[in-house]
């Protein structure tokens, strides 16, 4: 067994969230009858992807739409949407109207606005809201997931076509691109 309290160890404590990089997503909600989108950096699937979880700071304008309708959407932007994504992640719907930044469409839920320009869209209904003041843990059940056909190869989603924006934390706080596939397995 290696003793990391030993001065000879190469291990050192590092601050920050090291579970990264992850794809940046835009969460959509209907606030006061208009679509509003914000950026979420850590979106976590669980229960075999049937549910997802994220943390929402309780001053977010988007929070009202999520609480009012108990629905939301998750939209994965491509690199070409970086400017619009930055805008949604730095300006509040309380101060600017974010409803016209993208074209919006609705799926089965009718109250979870989704972004046409994003290659991947997921509509969700809220199953639980956890109080971790000043944050809330939002748990959603995935109702339906969508991808544009141009991002598929032989009927399957092809991440090399999606060009997701990856957000890295724990070191620098910056956006990265997806790299090359390292195992050529078609499974």
Ligand X SMILES: Cc1cc2nc3c(=O)[nH]c(=O)nc-3n(C[C@H](O)[C@H](O)[C@H](O)COP(=O)(O)O)c2cc1C
Spatial contact of 170 and 42, defined as CB atoms under 8 Å apart:
no
Question: Strand (E) positions, the chain?
Answer: 22-23, 25-31, 34-40, 44-46, 51-57, 71-76, 104-105, 114-115, 120-132, 135-147, 152-153, 156-157, 165-168, 174-177
Closer residue to ligand X (CB): 53 or 152: 53
Q: Least distance (Å) from ligand X to the CB of residue 87?
A: 8
Positions in the binding site for ligand X (CB under 6 A): 24, 36, 38-42, 54-57, 60-62, 89-94, 167
Q: In Å, what is the CA distance from 136 to each residue of 15, 24, 55, 57?
A: 23, 19, 6, 6
Of 91 and 161, CB closest to ligand X:
91
Min. distance of Cβ 78 from ligand X in angstroms?
16
To ligand X, the closest distance from the beta carbon of 97 in angstroms equals 10
The answer to whether 82 touches 170, Cβ cutoff 8 Å, is: no
CB 120, min distance to ligand X, A: 17
Nearer Cβ to ligand X (40/124): 40
- Closest distance to ligand X from the beta carbon of 147 (Å): 22
Give the other-Cβ count within 10 Å of 82's Cβ: 13
- Residue 135 vs 148, nearer CB to ligand X: 135
Q: Which residues contact 12 (CB under 8 A, 6 or more apart)?
A: none
Using CA atoms, how far residue 29 sits from 17, 18, 83, in Å, is 26, 29, 20
Nearer to ligand X, 27 or 120 (CB): 27
Q: What values do phi and psi take at 131, rounded to 5? A: -90, 105
């Amino acid at each position: 067994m290696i003793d990391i309290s030993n001065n000879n160890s190469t291990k050192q404590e590092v601050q920050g969230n090291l579970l990264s990089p992850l794809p940046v997503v835009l969460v959509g909600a209907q606030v006061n009858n208009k679509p509003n989108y914000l950026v979420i950096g850590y979106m976590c699937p669980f229960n075999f992807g049937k549910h997802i979880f994220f943390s929402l700071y309780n001053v977010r304008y988007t929070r009202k739409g999520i609480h009012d309708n108990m629905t939301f959407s998750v939209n994965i932007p491509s690199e070409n949407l970086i400017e619009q994504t930055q805008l949604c992640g730095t300006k509040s719907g309380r101060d600017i109207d974010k409803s016209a930044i993208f074209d919006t469409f609705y799926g089965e839920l009718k109250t979870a606005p989704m972004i046409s320009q994003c290659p991947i869209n997921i509509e969700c209904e809220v199953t639980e809201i956890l109080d971790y003041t000043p944050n809330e843990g939002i748990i959603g059940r995935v109702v339906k997931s969508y991808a544009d056909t141009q991002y598929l190869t032989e009927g399957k989603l092809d991440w090399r076509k999606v060009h997701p924006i990856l957000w890295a934390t724990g070191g620098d706080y910056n956006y990265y691109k997806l790299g090359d596939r390292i195992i050529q397995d078609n499974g």
